[in-house]
Amino acid sequence: MKWIKFVQSVIIFIFSINAALATEGTQAPSRLFFGLNAQQGYMFDTRTSEVIQNQYTNLDFRVGWQTDDFNRNIFDCLFRYPQYGIGLYSGYMNRIILGDDQQPGFGNPLALYAFFASPIVRYDRFRLFYDFSLGIATNFNTYHPQLRPYHVFVSTNSNVYINIRLNTEFKLFERSTIGCGVSIQHFSNTSLKKPNTGINLLSGTITYQTGLFKHKEKNYNRFPIEPFSPTWELQLAWANGIRVLDADFDLINPPEIKYWYSTSLSIAALRQINNRRKWGAGIDIFYFDWGRYVKEYRANTRVNTHFHDNMSIGAFAAHELRYKNLWFVSNVGFYITDRIGDRPKNLWIYERVGVFYHVNQNVSLGLSIKAHLLIADHAELTLRYAFRK
């Protein structure tokens, strides 16, 4: 198979580098490293939490950069001198199990991603760290109402790829490590086309990494960090996105228009407790342009609606994590009112996750995803302004 030949070539390449650098007296030319990850696991149906596939394997090759502990950047020090880089992912999902029925799977997805890995604990030759990857994947067998009606998980050939991993490593040689861990992977088109419940994978991981530098203990306290004085801020946010008509509404004679404008205004009070973390709470006001159409087609007659009939209100708890000029946002909220049936079925909980770039101390721009129980609803572009005290 092609992917087996690819993996064999990568392994030979990595071990060739390691052998070439193992010569006594060789000096490390850079802080570049190469890694190979193999994962085997199971796929879960987000709607029922049932295992639906037992033939899932993936391999990926990555090239990364180890931040230098002589760097005086405060965030590299706070994140214990992380690694970052890019990788290539190759998966095998060619069998799916639905009860006693065996069906063709989702194909052999390929992905290009960026990753960020930060140590949690170091002890002698051991290291515990977390790893986050984000990229674009393609080459899926997608949903088709006649050929693949059970493929409600992905309906587009290109999807967002997310991987969150907790891993341990053991130093084999001066420049090489081997490790194992667990990871959660997710593929989704952020509901730009439905059905799209997303592919969710839970797997065990085996890793091998070799670098062009010698591994050594980091001195995380090399440069003293000045004490941080906690501050408050009032944050205003305006989010805009496109939402796809959801088949779950079971509309009679659904409208030909499939894409609808979605927007929201948010106000939140947040407390920055240290150099990299904020906590807070706020209110969301959602507006969906399709509210009256849902009411009309459900009733199969003309319905008189007002502006507020297209609105919902929610309250949320907020958490933000900073790395340099980037803030990683994760909010969990619940609906106070829901006049347009925004929440699917009887779910009152929603989530928002995203990343924001700080243009200056007050203004930030970001991309986020709104979801219900980890099933993406739609993507949003957001402008935020913060009043700081």
Convert the pLDDT of each residue in 273-307 to its tens digit. Answer: 999 999 999 999 998 876 656 655 555 555 556 66
The residue ranking higher by pLDDT, 194 or 388, is 388
User: Mean pLDDT throughout 86-112?
Assistant: 76
Predicted confidence at residue 41, as pLDDT, reads: 85
Query: What is the average pLDDT across 337-358?
Result: 78
The whole-number pLDDT of residue 386 equals: 95
Residues 165 and 306 in one domain: no
pTM: 0.80
Mean pLDDT calculated for residue range 36-55:
72
Residue predicted with more confidence, 67 or 267: 267
* Range of lowest pLDDT (150-154, 165-169, 198-202): 150-154
Most confident among 5-14, 78-87, 94-103, 207-216 (mean pLDDT) = 78-87
In this structure, the answer to whether residues 282 and 346 fall within a common structural domain is yes
Residue 219 belongs to some domain of the structure: no
Q: Which domain holds residue 361?
A: 231-388
Instruction: Quickly state the pLDDT bin for 250 (edges 50, 70, 90).
Output: very low
Per-range mean pLDDT, top range of 33-42, 54-63, 313-322, 372-381: 313-322
Least confident residue range of 33-37, 138-142, 341-345: 341-345
Q: Are residues 295 and 239 in the same domain?
A: yes
Q: Residues 132, 68: one domain?
A: yes
Range picked from 127-141, 211-225, 286-300 for highest mean pLDDT? 127-141
- Taking 60 as the threshold, does the pLDDT of residue 9 lie above it? no
Same domain, 205 and 293: no
Q: What string of H, E and C letters represents the secondary structure of the chain?
A: CHHHHHHHHHHHHHHHHHHHHCCCCCCCCCCEEEEEEEEEEEEECCCCCCEEEEEEEEEEEEEEEECCCCCCCHHHHHCCCCEEEEEEEEEEEEEEEECCEEEEEEEEEEEEEEEEEEEEEEECCEEEEEEEEEEEEEEECCCECCCECCCCCCCCCCEEEEEEEEEEEEECCCCEEEEEEEEEEEEECCCCCCCCCCEEEEEEEEEEEEECCCCCCCCCCCCCCCCCCCEEEEEEEEEEEEEECCHHHCCCCCCCCCEEEEEEEEEEEEEECCCCEEEEEEEEEEEECCHHHHHHHHHCCCCCCCHHHHEEEEEEEEEEEEECCEEEEEEEEEEEEECCCCCCCCCCEEEEEEEEEECCCCEEEEEEEEEECCEEEEEEEEEEEEEEC
Question: How high is the pLDDT of residue 251?
Answer: 45
Q: What is the pLDDT of residue 17?
A: 45
Report the number of distinct structural domains present in the chain: 2
| Confidence check: pLDDT of 334 > 90 | yes
39-45: average pLDDT: 81
Residue 132 and residue 41 in one domain? yes
What pLDDT score does 46 carry?
Answer: 61
Instruction: Answer yes or no: do 206 and 58 share one domain.
Output: yes
pLDDT band for position 264 (cuts 50, 70, 90): very high
Asked if residue 321 and residue 181 are part of one domain, the reply reads: no
